[in-house]
Structure 1
Amino acid sequence: MYKDLMIPMTGAGADEDALALAIALAKSHGAHLTVLEMVDLPMPLTHPWGLMPDATMYEAHAILRERGAKNLARLQARLAVESVSSEARLIEALYSEASRSAARHAYDADLTIVAGAVGDNADSVVPHAYFVDLLLESGRPVLVVPPRSAPAPMRRFAIAWQPTRQTSRAVHDALPLLEQAERVDVLTIDEDGTPDPQQSGERIVRHLIRHGIDAHRIVRPCLDQSVATSILRYAHEAGSQALIAGGYGHSRLREWVLGGTTRELLIGADLPVFFGH
């Protein structure tokens, strides 16, 4: 069971969907939920002798802090009517991006929930930045909740299985969810017609069954589609309510460096995706 959940408010349209799912998970696991109201403060102007005082910047900071305080009060009122242990914090990010500040606050969480965004456009930049920093810098699993996705309880899961460290980490970090599932499909997309030489898919199914999980081995061909498209197609056909996947990426200087399937699932999934790294 998870005992500490965390969710940052990104300002994205799916924040409310993600918060509703986080509250539902906190109730079902008897977990404490921490909600972060993020205030992203622009950096002061600089000149060769250091930071330059700027009345306009101070005014902008005051406006953002006031907005953050109002949002915090609304979050506290929302949480007060829910039967979960919870707290809401105001986090100011000035000398670091808000998404990286959120990642540092996730160190003591069992799971971080974050809003997602379907597509790759201007509206998705901020939520995707939160996902990347949480995935690569927090050391914790991340559950991405796209807009208008089905609320909890999640009872049917599909695992996008590959015999890799990232996917193994995702599966084992997701065990508290999988142990409450009605059915778990361990899905392998066959790209070249060759079987897994280590039969790792069969082994992970047996491992999950030993945990009391109703796990099933599924193999599907790509059919001239990308791996991510094939995964999502199966998930819809099978009635899966969430995906479990390895999150592939590398540290970078403020650039996205995500694996192809990870990125496609991030921008294309319309159901929650649990990523481990």
Structure 2
Amino acid sequence: MYKSLLLPLVDRDGDADALDLAVRLAALHGAHLSVLVMIDLPPPVVDPWGLMPDPVTAQSHADLRERGSARLAALRERLAAETIDWEARTVEAMSMGAPRAATRESYDCDLVVLGGAIGDTVESAVPREYFSSLLLEAGCPVLVVPPRCAAEVPTRCITIAWQPTREAARAVRAALPLLRAAKTVDVLAIDDGKTPDAEPSGRRMIAYLRRHGVEASWVARPAGEETVATRVLQFARHSRSQLLVVGGYGHSRLREWALGGVTRELLIGADQPVLYAH
């Protein structure tokens, strides 16, 4: 079971849904929930003689801190009625940036919950930066919750996007607390002609899950003319899956975003929560 959850609020539409899901997960698992109001402060002006006093930057910092305090007060009011064990606090980031500051707060948690954003837009750039930093540097799984996804807890129908990689295997192990509560678990392999050993390893994974009390079914689908991520999403929607479990960034992050990849496409297109591990 998850006993320590972390939710950094990124000040985007997905925050509300992520908070709702995190609260319900904390209640289900008897977990402690830490919610962070991130305050991203612009660095002070630097000149050849060192840091210069800058009234504009100072006023910007004051405004951002005031806004962060208001958000924190609203958050605490929202959580006051909950019976879970929770804390809410602000985290200021200046020299390292807010995503890395959030990552430094995550080393003692079991699962990070993060609000996402559908589409490849300017609005979605900030959640993606948090996602990349947390997934690659925190050492724990990241559950991305897109806005207005109506996530269910406990999750009854889960799809594992399987490929024989370290990242996918870690994602499955990280998702065990959720998988044990599910009624339907599909281990899905999309045949793109590049992973001939997907089925033998996938069936071994099913046996592994059974030893952990999880009954799962093997499903194979051809990729055809579609990308792997597109076929995964098509299957998830057709089967009414409420959660995807995938390995994140099997290739480098730069390659994923420049050339495309499963992680990139799922971040853009998934309209249900996705648990990633790296």
Compute the TM-score of the two structures, normalised by the length of structure 2.
0.95
Partner of 2:26: 26
Farther-moved stretch of structure 1 (157-166 vs 144-153): 144-153
Partner of 2:157: 156
Q: Which amino acid aligns with 1:241?
A: Q
The Cα of 1:76 is off from its aligned counterpart by: 1.0
The Cα of 1:31 is off from its aligned counterpart by: 0.4
1:187 aligns with 2:177: no
The Cα of 1:195 is off from its aligned counterpart by: 4.1
Q: How does 1:57-72 map to 2 (within 5 A)?
A: 57-72=57-72
Deviation per CA, 1:211-268: give whole Å up to 9, x if none: 111211110111210000000000011110010000015477xx96796111111111
Gap change, CA 1:198 and 1:215, over 3 Å in 2? closer
3-state SS of paired residue (1:188): strand
3-state SS of paired residue (1:71): helix
Partner of 2:123: 123
3-state SS of paired residue (1:212): coil
Deviation per CA, 1:128-181: give whole Å up to 9, x if none: 111111111111100000111122211110000011100001100111111111
Q: Quick one: distance in 2 between partners of 1:7 and 1:43?
A: 25
Q: Quick one: distance in 2 between partners of 1:189 and 1:9?
A: 34
Gap change, CA 1:197 and 1:136, over 3 Å in 2? closer
Deviation per CA, 1:38-63: give whole Å up to 9, x if none: 00000111101111110111111001
1:12 aligns with 2:33: no
Partner of 2:103: 103
Partner of 2:91: 91
Q: Which amino acid aligns with 2:70?
A: K
Q: Which amino acid aligns with 1:219?
A: A
Structure 1 contact 245–273 (Cα < 8 Å) conserved: yes
Q: Quick one: distance in 1 between partners of 2:238 and 2:253?
A: 35
Partner of 2:80: 80
Farther-moved stretch of structure 1 (37-46 vs 192-201): 192-201
The Cα of 1:11 is off from its aligned counterpart by: 0.7
Q: Give RMSD over aligned pairs.
A: 1.7
Q: Quick one: distance in 1 between partners of 2:198 and 2:107?
A: 36
Question: In the comparison of the two structures, how many residue pairs are matched?
Answer: 275
1:225 aligns with 2:226: yes
Compute the TM-score of the two structures, normalised by the length of structure 1.
0.95
Deviation per CA, 1:99-128: give whole Å up to 9, x if none: 110011111010000011111111111111
Q: How does 1:242-261 map to 2 (within 5 A)?
A: 242-248=243-249, 249-250=251-252, 260-261=261-262
Q: Quick one: distance in 2 between partners of 1:268 and 1:194?
A: 23
Gap change, CA 1:264 and 1:194, over 3 Å in 2? closer
Q: Quick one: distance in 1 between partners of 2:212 and 2:259?
A: 31
Q: Quick one: distance in 2 between partners of 1:258 and 1:273?
A: 21
Q: Quick one: distance in 2 between partners of 1:116 and 1:182?
A: 26
Gap change, CA 1:194 and 1:6, over 3 Å in 2? closer
Q: Report percent identity of matched pairs.
A: 53
Q: Quick one: distance in 2 between partners of 1:188 and 1:197?
A: 7
Q: Which amino acid aligns with 2:170?
A: R
Runs of 4+ more than 4 Å apart? 255-259
Q: Quick one: distance in 2 between partners of 1:60 and 1:256?
A: 32
Partner of 1:137: 137
